[in-house]
Structure formats: C-alpha cells, structure tokens
Chains A and B, each alone.
Chain A
C-alpha cells in the first residue's frame, strides 16, 4: 500500500485546483477535497488503494461537493449541483488538470496579494503542504499562518482575483511574479533568514518540486527552465555546503566530490537548452553562472572571466545593489580584490550582512586586517542565522587584531 500521506500531498494541489474551477470557490474546494481524504482514510485500508489515487480523490471530492450543495440546497444551488453533475463526469483529463494547476498558481501569486501571502498560498494550495507545515517552514505559529491564509483567501474571494492564466500581454509580468515566489521558497530554504540551521531541506525540496511542476506546466518558457536549472544547481551542492558540524562551507572550499552529479548534469543540460532559445532572462543567466561553477573540477579551475561576463549581462538585465555586489566578487577574481573593493564601497545596501561580509573578505585579502575585523563586526551585527554568524566569527578570528 503506498504511503497515504504521500498520495495526499501529491493529490491535494491537483484536486483543489480542479474543484476550484468547478465550484468557483477555494474554500469549498478545500472542504470537498478534505472530505474525500477522510473517505480515503476510512476505505483504502480495507478496500485497497484505487488504481489512480489522484483521480479517485478528484472524483470523490466532486461527489462530496455535490452532496453538500444538495444538502444545503437553495434553488440556485440545485442548479449549480446539476451543472456539476453534468460537467465532465469521467475524471478530468491530464491537460485539463494542468490548466487548473496553472490557474491556481497564477491566482496564488497574484500581485494584489502580499508577498508573504503569495508564498504561503502557493505552498498550501499548489504544494499541498498542511497549514502546520507552511507555518513551520516560516517559523511562525500555526494560528498565525492559518490567519494569514484565511485573509488571503478572503481577498481572493471578495476582490474577485480571477482564476485564470493571464492573457498573453500580461504573461511575462505575471510569470515573473510566479517565478519570484518559487525562487523565494528556495532561497528561504537554502539560506534560512533566521534560526539555527543554515539550510531548511524541506523548503528546498518543496521549491525544487514547484519548479519541476512549473517546468512541466510551461515547458516553452525559457525563464521557467532557467529557474529550474538554478535551483537544481544550487541543490546539487547542498551536501557540500554544510560541514559535518553544521558549519557553512563557502563555494571555493567545498568538497566538489560531494556535489550531486545527477543534479549538476540535469541543471547544465537545462541551461544549454534554454540558452539555445536565445531569449536570456535573469534566471537563465543566474543559472548559467552556477553552471560555470559546476564545470570547474576545483575552485582554481573556475572560469572567472566567463562568470564576470555573465554578471555583466545580469547587471544589464536586473540592475541593483545585490547583483552588483555579486559581480564585485567575480571582479575580485579577475582583476583583484582592490578593484572589487572600490566597487563594493560605492554600493548602498543597508540592513544586510552581505555587503560588510564581502568588504571584510576583500580587506582581509588585501592584508588590511584591522579594517577587515571592523567590517566583520559590522556583518556580525546584521547576520540572521547562527551558522552564518559562526562562519563570520571564524573568519574574523583569522584576521589579526581584536
């Protein structure tokens, strides 16, 4: 018997997406799907798991919804129930499910919703995580997350955020919003903004799953493939990125034999595939940068001039201080730390440890230890996770002066 919980997680998003289209209401859809799960828990142990568990869940949820509408019947509702019954009585075909899942994704990532709400809704309604799991992922109490989800769904209902894939003209903008949500799930997992663990494996896995799902739904969008490549290449280094004691191991010091070769190969193949389309976007270029790193057998073999050229491209596509800071790191390798330091000092990037941490590293490499120590202190005052703090403290201890 397959893991019922796994079946539920896999089916939840599909079933809620289909039912939302049929019922025109996310809450009613969730209720119907939960009813169906309850029935499954009662029946499957005795009767066995049906051949297509996901299809069974959708069909049962639809029947449950019809029962419910009949019970609570007003005249209009009866008509709606009749319409439901008439509507695609055989299980919906794969193409239709795919369209429903896309609709749900665009609804959850609608720009009219607060960014935190978009992420929470996507994990819950597309990813199929329970409210408790979403709460855990963002280190907030379950009641807080439940409230956030209720409010977001109320806005979708009351403001009538459409359940629709945007028109061609709006698609690039709206797709960028969807990609940003998936990327945010990954970066939050990859470098948790708070807590005592650097990597939140559950969130990384969820982001990879969402990115794969999205690539399956929109295989012709190069930026979708770019995002998938980016998260796969980052994911390939997970084992190497955290030391046995939980400490942070930066890219140049990683044991590259620990990289997941299958993920590297998949990521690099995706980079080649989407770059061939000749429509480079920010995710594709970021993935290409990671692919260059993945090509190098040792840190010393890294083709830094290629990395720098890609950063030049990225700065042109998405100017901003964070990209400029990362570009400066590449400049340090190609032109030396002094040239990079001049760039870094011109940047304004308050409230994050990233800028002082890079500046500290450059000063350290220039032998300006006292200034480096001061910059490490600045970074330490802003850093969020204890693992990154330990890393900065080790580096700080390495420069003379106290």
Chain B
C-alpha cells in the first residue's frame, strides 16, 4: 500500500496558550485514533521548535556540526504523520482531517520508497 507523508506547516513563534492548544490536541488525538482504526496510521510525531535543531553535514571526510535549523523560515514542519493510502484522494482525505484538527496547512507528499 502506498504511503504519504503529511507534514504540519506551523508558523514560527510561541505555541498557543493551553486553552487554545488543549482542544486542538484532543482533536488531533481523535484523528490519529481514526487513522489507527482504519488501518491507515504508520507513524506520527510532533517536533520540538526548529531552534532546537542541529545540522550535521559531510565536509571532506569530516562532519561539520552547526546550530540549526537547516533553513530559517517563517514556517516550518512542526510535526508529521505517515499514512497508508490507496491513492492521492485517500491521502488528501486524511490531510483534510489533520488540517481541520490542527487548523494548520498540511503538505501531503508521496513516499517514494517505504522502509528504505
């Protein structure tokens, strides 16, 4: 079954206060539960802020470690879910659910080689 990466596009800055975030997290948990029930859920994770990232890059046999993120941007990937879906329409249907729950844009991208 083909897989799709659903990336959550989050604006830079502080996370919303608990009274906003808590109901969102409940909605997200409900979507994840629905994915599991449908047998579509493969993996999902929320990420720490981009400022916590570190970049390792090959540099002439050595590795250069620098403070991240790799790209500074107004928006970044705040979390992701991998789902199994028969085709793009099925993946977009999950994408809509995630966007509805999080109130954020979701990028739906096909996985080329699952498990590699």
Contacts and interface: CB of A to CB of B under 8 A. Distances in A.
Contacts of A112: 88, 92
A160 B92 contact: no
B87 interface: yes
Nearest to B110: A159
A336 B115 CA distance: 69
A158 B112 contact: yes
A162 interface: yes
B2 interface: yes
A164 B92 CA distance: 15
Contact of B2 (A110, A160, A166): A160
Nearest to B85: A160
A166 B89 contact: yes
Interface residues of A, number: 10
| Interface size of B as a range | under 10
A28 interface: no
Q: Is the interface of A mostly helix, strand, loop or mixed?
A: loop
Interface in A298-329: none
Nearest to A158: B110
Interface string A149-164: 0000000001111101
A162 B87 contact: yes
A159 B88 contact: yes
Contacts of B88: 110, 112, 159-162
Contacts of B86: 160, 162
A123 B99 CA distance: 33
A164 B86 CA distance: 12
Nearest to B4: A159
Contacts of A161: 87-89
Contacts of A162: 86-89
Interface in A87-114: 110, 112
Interface in A110-139: 110, 112
A137 B2 CA distance: 37
Contacts of A158: 110, 112
Contacts of B92: 112
Contacts of B87: 160-162, 164
Nearest to A110: B88
Interface in B58-116: 86-89, 92, 109-110, 112
A26 B77 CA distance: 33
Contacts of B89: 161-162, 164, 166, 170
B80 to A, nearest CB: 17
A159 B92 CA distance: 11
Nearest to B89: A162
A67 B26 CA distance: 56
Interface in A217-241: none
Nearest to A163: B87
Interface in A28-68: none
A277 to B, nearest CB: 28
A377 B100 CA distance: 47
B91 to A, nearest CB: 8
Contacts of A166: 89
A32 to B, nearest CB: 23
**Cβ-closest 3 pairs across A and B:** A162-B87, A160-B87, A159-B110
Interface of B: 2, 86-89, 92, 109-110, 112
12 contacts: A110-B88, A112-B88, A112-B92, A158-B110, A160-B86, A160-B87, A160-B110, A161-B87, A161-B88, A162-B88, A162-B89, A170-B89
Given A159-B109, A162-B89, 5 more contacts: A112-B88, A160-B2, A160-B88, A162-B88, A170-B89
